[in-house]
Amino acid sequence: MTDFAAARKQMVDSQLLPNRVTDARLIETMGAVARETFVPAALRGVAYVDDDLQVAPGRYVMEPMVFARLLQEAGVKKTDAVLDVGCATGYSAAILARLANVVVALEEDEALSEQASATLASADVVNAVAVTGRLSEGYAHQAPYDVIVLEGAVEHVPQRILDQLAEGGRLVAVIAGRGIGKAVLFTRSGGVIGRRELFDASTPMLPGFALEAGFVF
């Protein structure tokens, strides 16, 4: 039988700490949340490997190191409202719920959204709610958000999602390119959106965020 507590500690010690994850609240949280409960039974034995885990066709729980570094750059505070785009089974929302005030966990796949809601409830997460809707549209009903996290690589961030950032808000995403992707931090200050590249990153694509093909003459 897998010792999941030991596996979580090993994840922190071998994946997070050597890779510039230094935020104490984030480290404590990722060492406490039971990742194995958010993946299919067949994957529980490898729940803490340093890889993305496929939990449904084309849907993944992000690699721990990339996920942790994105959240560290977002600087999630206890007073923040967070939009978690592409929450899949709810693991990311469970992490964010410990760091923030409230989390809206958006999922396009209705079955995944229902699964996320049930698993979050079973884990006694009371400040995160799973909602269903198109990922590329965000969730304007509860906007604005202090933090928005895109749980997968995208070719671009739609303006309608950036518009849901509060003043002083932060959005983190992996932007896919022709080569390796880049983790990027978007911020809203004085009503203006800024963009800063953070580090190289690779993670599976999130559906619905492809750039439209241009005209060919």
User: pLDDT tens digits, residue range 35-92?
Assistant: 999 999 999 999 999 999 999 998 999 999 999 999 999 999 999 999 999 999 999 9
Q: How far apart are CA 68 and CA 48, in angstroms?
A: 13
Of 74, 145, 65, 69, whose CA–CA distance to 105 is shortest? 145
Q: Across the strands, what pairs with 174?
A: 153, 183
Question: What is the per-residue pLDDT across 129-174, written as a single tens digit (0 to 9) for each?
Answer: 999 999 999 999 999 999 999 999 999 999 999 999 999 999 999 9
Q: At what angle do helices 64-74 and 91-99 cross, to 10 degrees?
A: 30
Cβ atoms of 157 and 176 within 8 Å: the answer is: no
Question: What is the per-residue pLDDT across 164-173, written as a single tens digit (0 to 9) for each?
Answer: 999 999 999 9
> Is the predicted pLDDT of residue 217 greater than 60, yes or no?
no
Domains (ranges, CATH) in the chain? Answer: 4-201 (3.40.50.150)
State the Cα angle at 95 between 93 and 100, rounded to 5°: 85
